[in-house]
């Protein structure tokens, strides 16, 4: 308050009488002079023309024109801006106009005007408590420009409106405790309380800067929405702007590298995991909840354009309400609903282009090296046995073109010069060139989405349709997805709402017979590197496959079907069509029983139907080969065909039907000004039925769906290519069905004191036909959680200016993890005998009444903070996690009659982790720069293992799965300890005890577990990302950099055993040791013939091939430009968003000694994607 007054605490001085007389005369003269000035000032006319100007500026203008000063409390002005136009007004008229709508009163005291806030009378207070009011205001952007068509809604109600062309709006009859929600596409949503607000409201919206917003966040658990300030658990919230930052048709691709502790991996044991693995063998993917119910379909069916936000539940307090399914975390997906009063139409279109992959990232022995190797092997007699079997008509085993030439030369069928010239012509061929040119194409994806939404007095509605087409990278492959989504809330009365939802997905996939880089020849593991797959004109060329070329060129004297294999032609000759339909219906009823108590009933029916079939046409190699193989020659030379001439159709049909129901009560009451209680309780039931039917049909004709039914599957037929071999016609027919049933009870309670302290508790009891009887009876020991949060910065004693926000949260509780790997009751599989086709039965698992879910207990402590006026905000989470009753597979006595292995609760796992999220506003000027930093660490170890431990080291060599060793990471990478190459022979060397050894059989047999080398984890211990966003006016540029640290991988290298038997191998062959001294420059052993398989196996599992996988990667870059009516007033749309996006996926740094990308070791590297798109809101 600006006041000038006496201080009565100062002692007055004694003034002499003469001096006092002089002062009185002087004062009298000054009063006369001031009175004259005052009269002139009071009569001074005031003229103003201020638009949206600060009140203090207007007061200064009035003071300068009138001479009157103002005394006021700055808080009463509340930094308001008003519009005031005056012409020749008196001071009295000016002040009246000024205070008219500001709820201020004034009093003129001499030359000062005192402004004070109006205090309503007692009667007025009573009236206002029961009376609604009209809310009016104006919405502007950061530059003060009006924002037409902004949405203004009363929170929690359907009452809403939109602003006019001047940004102005009015909502009639608004309750005094109402909260306005103001939103505009491309701008941050704002919430304002009506209570005490001065009309008209001046509302300024700020553009979205690209970072995750920290205000007005409500976490969804799938059962209820929890305001961020009241949450005790560990949540992660991803809003719509961040979901739409990336471009793609899969929702998981949209949230990659956006949250701490959530790993979405292109390679590795677990493609999707939250806070690491705490299970031995079960699927550790989080539970997916879509619109309040667990989603039983493929998460890739969900159209990202329909998703409003995603909440990730990471600890027990957040996820325990989902009980035995929540041990791995929960991803809660909320789809869009209607907003605003008027209908709104939005459309999103984009195109994604991706060039052919880099096939040369796959290391392959060169054609010249392989030819020289074949020539060497030929001189050593490597192919003599196969040649003999061919000559005796016992086998028709194929040879590569080089070996065929060498055999022909040895028989004198071709001259040495011709052989040399022909072989040399092969040396310049690289099969990868033809594969990339003829088997791959530029990928092209198109996304089209449109939605209509709105909110009226009686109906909240949202309807969307989406079409996604993709021409995939492999020639002949494509996908097509159609999605329809509808969400409606019918407002029957002010206390009764009916919710109706419907979603439909039709996902079609078409796959040709195209193996791309994995094409093989001769039924081997590789394609010989000089294979020629197409002529210069692009005509398909034959490739050696199951039989020797000279045999199929002459066999049958033209009476058999063409037996050549041309991979390029086969792409279209074999087509797999997979059509999956997902149809979901939701219905719900919300009833307000009292102002504090609500009831709800929800039901969901989900039906997933999959129809997959592979049609091997008569022109396909698969069909021609089977028909020829089973062709029978009668005594008179007549040919018969047990497999009829026609297509072969393989089918695999599936059906999933899920019924889920839930009833619940919710209680929410504020007791006085300091106490708030929120609670929910209810029960739910689920029935999930799955069926699978598969079969094979011969002689199929698509027109008329004709098939042959008179096949004899029990007879053993002589093979045409070798009469000594017999086979039955391949038979494939199976029917399977499973039914899962769940019954659950749940409750959640939270108490908040003075908006500072919150205590929460939740509990759940689960029973299912998957669990044992003893487990289902233990309803008295439910899964549970306890939590508390303390908003320290809201305390009166808190006075740390540089840290305006500080909040602590602590939780502890348990969740679970279930699987259908085994069941509590005897499970029997019935199937026909492979020989007689008579029915047989096999016991899949014996009864286990003690079978239960894996129990996962989590302790979590968190801190939320804001620094330097919240320019930096962040969250720290530290957690301890422990799993008990962990399921694992172990060997059993085969004489028990239940197979060789069983699964039971036999292990325990525990670990800990730290997660850091930092958001900073680096600059707030013309160019706005924000950064989001994520860091997480997770490390789980096996703490309990009830099964016998093998002491043979070979048992624990890493195979890509979980390795059960007490006290070590579940992802441990174990190898033989490698010594240096033998300088005289280039042999790999290992250690038996402390001594170097080349006894490879002993190394594999005698090396114990303790003698293996533990290299570290195969999954990252540390991971995170750094996203930077730069915004200038309506232009925004952002890029995301990820990092993964503290892990290892075992790189591929040459396998000499398969090199000589499988027609190809790794390019490390050229780096092999060849002469003394090479050991200084290479760790690739020498090639030795005859091959010792144990030697090759030792090298491939030695520490020589272990590399650090740490790396930093540029993930993506996005550039967008948003056009609003504030920028283009005559634009017929609300907003236009133009964007360009690239998934770069480029290594910026890696720790590998061989400079290998751990994501793409010896496989093709995907090319960068480039996309452009347009989003329009009408």
Question: Residue 787: beta bridge partners?
Answer: 760, 811
Q: Are residues 616 and 736 in the same domain?
A: yes
Helix orientation angle between 401-410 and 367-379, rounded to the nearest 10 degrees: 40
Check residue 28 and give its pLDDT: 43
Contacts with 24 (C-beta within 8 Å, 6 or more apart), sequence order = none
Check residue 27 and give its pLDDT: 41
Check residue 44 and give its pLDDT: 67
Check residue 288 and give its pLDDT: 93
Q: Is 50 helix (H, G, I), strand (E, B) or coil?
A: strand
Q: Are residues 318 and 269 in the same domain?
A: yes
Contacts with 1001 (C-beta within 8 Å, 6 or more apart), sequence order = 1094
Q: Are residues 275 and 149 in the same domain?
A: no
1118 and 1143 Cβ atoms separated by less than 8 Å: no
Q: How far apart are CA 569 and CA 540, in angstroms?
A: 6
Domain of residue 251 covers 240-337
Report the chain's C-alpha Rg in angstroms.
38
DSSP 8-state code for residue 777: H
Q: Which of 388, 405, 429 is where one domain is finished?
A: 429
Does residue 287 fall inside a structural domain?
yes
Contacts with 4 (C-beta within 8 Å, 6 or more apart), sequence order = none
CATH number of the domain residue 23 falls in = 3.55.50.30
Q: Are residues 654 and 594 in the same domain?
A: yes
Does residue 260 fall inside a structural domain?
yes
Contacts with 686 (C-beta within 8 Å, 6 or more apart), sequence order = 294, 658, 659, 660, 661, 740, 741, 742
Q: Are residues 186 and 298 in the same domain?
A: no
Q: Which of 698, 722, 747 is where one domain is finished?
A: 747
655 and 606 Cβ atoms separated by less than 8 Å: no
Q: Is 1056 helix (H, G, I), strand (E, B) or coil?
A: helix
Q: Are residues 626 and 718 in the same domain?
A: yes
Does residue 952 fall inside a structural domain?
no
Does residue 554 fall inside a structural domain?
no
Q: HSE of 808 in the Cβ direction (CA atoms, 13 Å)? A: 5
Q: How far apart are CA 365 and CA 367, in angstroms?
A: 7
Q: Are residues 659 and 694 in the same domain?
A: yes
Provide DSSP, 1002-1048.
HHHHH-BGGGSEEEEESS-SEEEEEEEEEEETTEEEEEEEEEEES-E
Check residue 885 and give its pLDDT: 87
Tell me whether strands 201-204 and 133-140 are parallel, antiparallel or unpaired.
parallel
Check residue 887 and give its pLDDT: 82
Q: Are residues 599 and 684 in the same domain?
A: yes
Chain length of the chain? 1178
CATH number of the domain residue 252 falls in = 2.170.130.10
Q: Which of 715, 711, 732 is nearest to 649 (CA)?
A: 732
Check residue 194 and give its pLDDT: 80
User: pTM, whole model, 2 decimals?
Assistant: 0.81
For 936-974, how does the pLDDT look when each residue is reduced to its tens digit (9 = 90+)?
999 899 999 888 777 788 888 866 678 888 888 888 999
Does residue 515 fall inside a structural domain?
no
Question: Residue 511: beta bridge partners?
Answer: 576
Q: Are residues 113 and 48 in the same domain?
A: yes
713 and 835 Cβ atoms separated by less than 8 Å: no
Question: Residue 1122: beta bridge partners?
Answer: 1137
Phi, psi of 205 (to 5 degrees): -105, 145
Q: Are residues 653 and 674 in the same domain?
A: yes
For 170-185, how does the pLDDT look when each residue is reduced to its tens digit (9 = 90+)?
888 787 767 888 887 6
CATH number of the domain residue 139 falls in = 2.60.40.1120
What residues in the chain have per-residue pLDDT under 50?
1-15, 18-42, 122-123, 125-131, 210-215, 779-781
Q: Are residues 640 and 742 in the same domain?
A: yes
First-to-last alpha carbon distance for the chain, in angstroms, is 48
Q: Which of 315, 337, 359 is where one domain is finished?
A: 337
Q: How far apart are CA 944 and CA 854, in angstroms?
A: 13
Does residue 526 fall inside a structural domain?
no
Q: How far apart are CA 1047 and CA 1022, in angstroms?
A: 8
Q: Is 851 helix (H, G, I), strand (E, B) or coil?
A: coil
When divided into structural domains, the chain yields a total of 5
Q: Are residues 600 and 731 in the same domain?
A: yes
Number of Cβ within a 10 Å radius of residue 1129: 11
């Amino acid at each position: 308050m600006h006041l000038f007054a006496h201080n009565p605490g100062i002692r007055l001085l004694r003034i002499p009488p003469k001096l006092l007389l002089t002062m009185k005369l002087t004062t009298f003269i000054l009063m006369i002079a001031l009175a004259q000035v005052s009269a002139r000032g009071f009569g001074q006319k005031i003229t103003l023309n201020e638009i949206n100007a600060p009140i203090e500026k207007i007061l200064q203008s009035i003071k300068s024109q009138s001479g009157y000063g103002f005394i006021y409390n700055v808080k009463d002005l509340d930094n308001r801006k008003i519009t005031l136009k005056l012409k020749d007004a008196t001071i009295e008229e000016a002040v009246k106009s000024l205070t008219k709508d500001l709820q201020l009163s004034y009093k003129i005291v001499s030359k000062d005007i005192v402004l004070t806030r109006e205090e309503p009378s007692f009667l007025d207070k009573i009236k206002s408590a029961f009376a609604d009011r009209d809310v009016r205001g104006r919405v502007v952007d950061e530059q003060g420009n009006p924002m037409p068509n902004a949405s203004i809604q009363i929170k929690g109600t359907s009452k809403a409106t939109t602003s006019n062309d001047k940004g102005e709006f009015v909502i009639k009859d608004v309750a005094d405790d109402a909260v306005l929600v103001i939103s505009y596409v491309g701008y941050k949503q704002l919430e304002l309380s009506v209570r005490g607000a001065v009309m008209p409201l001046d509302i300024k919206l700020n553009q979205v800067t690209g970072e995750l917003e920290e205000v007005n966040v409500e976490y969804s658990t799938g059962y209820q929405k929890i305001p961020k300030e009241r949450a005790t658990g560990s949540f992660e919230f991803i809003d719509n702007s961040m979901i739409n930052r990336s471009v793609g048709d899969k929702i998981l691709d949209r949230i990659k590298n956006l949250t701490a502790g959530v790993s979405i991996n292109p390679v590795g044991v677990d493609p999707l995991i939250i806070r690491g693995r705490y299970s031995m063998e079960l699927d550790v993917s989080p539970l997916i909840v879509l619109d309040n119910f667990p989603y039983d379909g493929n998460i890739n069916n969900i159209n990202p354009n329909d998703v409003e936000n995603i909440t990730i539940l990471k600890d027990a307090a957040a996820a325990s309400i989902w009980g035995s399914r929540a041990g791995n975390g929960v991803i809660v997906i909320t789809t869009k609903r209607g907003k605003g009063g008027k209908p709104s139409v939005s459309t999103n279109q984009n195109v994604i282009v991706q060039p052919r992959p880099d096939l040369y990232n796959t290391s392959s022995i060169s054609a010249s090296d392989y030819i020289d190797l074949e020539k060497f092997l030929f001189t050593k007699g490597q192919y003599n046995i196969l040649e003999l079997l061919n000559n005796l008509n016992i086998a028709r085993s194929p040879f590569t073109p080089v070996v065929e030439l060498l055999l022909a030369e040895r028989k004198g069928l071709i001259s040495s010069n011709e052989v040399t010239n022909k072989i040399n012509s092969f040396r310049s061929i690289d099969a990868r060139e033809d594969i990339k040119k003829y088997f791959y194409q530029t990928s092209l994806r198109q996304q089209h989405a449109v939605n209509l939404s709105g909110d009226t007095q009686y109906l909240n509605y949202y309807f969307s349709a989406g079409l996604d087409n993709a021409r995939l990278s492999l020639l002949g492959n494509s996908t097509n997805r159609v999605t329809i989504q509808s969400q409606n809330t019918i407002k029957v009365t002010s206390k009764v709402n009916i919710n109706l939802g419907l979603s439909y997905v039709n996902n079609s996939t078409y796959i040709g017979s195209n193996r791309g880089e994995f094409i093989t020849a001769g039924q081997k593991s590789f394609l010989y590197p000089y294979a020629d797959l197409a002529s210069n004109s692009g005509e398909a060329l034959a490739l050696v496959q199951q039989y020797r070329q000279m045999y199929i060129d002459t066999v049958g004297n033209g009476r058999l079907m063409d037996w050549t294999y041309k991979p390029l032609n086969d792409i279209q000759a074999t087509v797999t069509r997979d059509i999956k339909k997902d149809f979901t219906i939701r219905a719900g009823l919300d009833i307000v029983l009292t102002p504090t108590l609500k009831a709800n009933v929800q039901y969901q029916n989900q039906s997933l139907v999959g129809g997959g079939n592979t049609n091997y046409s008569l022109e396909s190699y698969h069909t021609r080969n089977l028909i020829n193989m089973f062709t029978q020659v009668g005594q008179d030379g007549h040919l018969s065909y047990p497999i009829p001439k026609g297509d072969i159709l393989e089918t695999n049909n599936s059906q999933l039907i899920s019924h889920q129901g839930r009833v619940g009560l919710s209680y929410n009451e504020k007791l006085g000004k300091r106490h708030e209680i929120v609670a929910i309780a209810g029960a739910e039931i689920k029935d999930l039925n799955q069926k699978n039917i598969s079969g094979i049909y011969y002689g199929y004709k698509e027109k008329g769906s004709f098939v042959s039914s008179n096949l004899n599957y029990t007879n053993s037929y002589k093979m045409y290519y070798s009469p000594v071999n017999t086979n039955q016609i391949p038979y494939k027919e199976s029917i399977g069905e499973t039914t899962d049933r769940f019954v659950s009870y749940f409750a959640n309670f939270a108490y908040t004191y003075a908006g500072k302290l919150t205590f929460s508790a939740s509990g759940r009891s689960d029973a299912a036909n998957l669990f044992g009887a003893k487990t289902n009876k233990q309803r008295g020991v439910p899964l549970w959680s306890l939590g508390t949060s303390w908003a320290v910065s809201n305390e009166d004693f808190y006075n740390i200016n540089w840290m305006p926000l500080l909040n602590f949260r602590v939780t502890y509780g348990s969740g679970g993890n279930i699987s259908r790997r085994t069941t509590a009751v005897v499970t029997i599989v019935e199937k026909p005998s492979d020989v007689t086709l008579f029915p047989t039965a096999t016991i899949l698992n014996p009864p286990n009444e003690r079978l239960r879910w894996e129990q996962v207990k989590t302790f979590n402590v968190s801190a939320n903070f804001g620094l330097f006026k919240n320019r930096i905000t962040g969250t720290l989470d530290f957690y301890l996690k422990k799993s008990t009753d962990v399921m694992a597979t172990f060997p059993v006595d085969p004489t028990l009659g239940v197979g060789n292995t069983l699964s039971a609760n036999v292990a325990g796992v525990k670990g800990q982790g730290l997660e850091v999220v930092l958001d900073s506003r680096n600059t707030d000027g013309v160019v706005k720069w924000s950064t989001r930093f994520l860091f997480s660490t997770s490390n789980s170890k096996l703490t309990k293992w009830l099964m016998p431990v093998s002491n043979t080291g070979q048992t624990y060599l890493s195979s890509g799965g979980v390795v059960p060793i007490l006290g070590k990471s579940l992802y441990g990478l174990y190898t033989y300890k490698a010594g240096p190459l033998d300088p005289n022979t280039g042999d790999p060397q290992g250690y038996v005890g402390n001594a170097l050894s080349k006894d490879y059989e002993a190394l594999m047999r005698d090396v114990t577990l303790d003698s293996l080398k533990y290299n570290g984890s195969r999954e990252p211990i540390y991971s995170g990302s750094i996203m930077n966003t730069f915004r200038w006016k309506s232009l925004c540029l952002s890029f995301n950099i990820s990092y993964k640290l503290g892990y290892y991988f075992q790189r591929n290298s040459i396998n000499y055993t398969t090199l000589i038997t499988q027609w190809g191998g790794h390019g490390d062959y050229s780096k092999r040791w060849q002469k003394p001294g090479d050991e200084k420059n290479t760790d690739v052993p020498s090639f030795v013939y005859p091959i010792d398989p144990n030697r090759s196996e030792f090298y491939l599992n030695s520490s020589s091939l272990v590399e650090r996988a740490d790396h930093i990667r540029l993930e993506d870059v996005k550039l967008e430009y948003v056009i609003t009516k504030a920028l283009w007033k005559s634009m017929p749309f609300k907003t236009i968003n133009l964007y360009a996006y690239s998934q770069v996926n480029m290594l910026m740094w890696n720790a590998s000694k061989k400079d290998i990308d751990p994501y793409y070791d010896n496989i093709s590297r995907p090319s960068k994607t480039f996309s452009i798109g347009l989003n329009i809101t009408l």
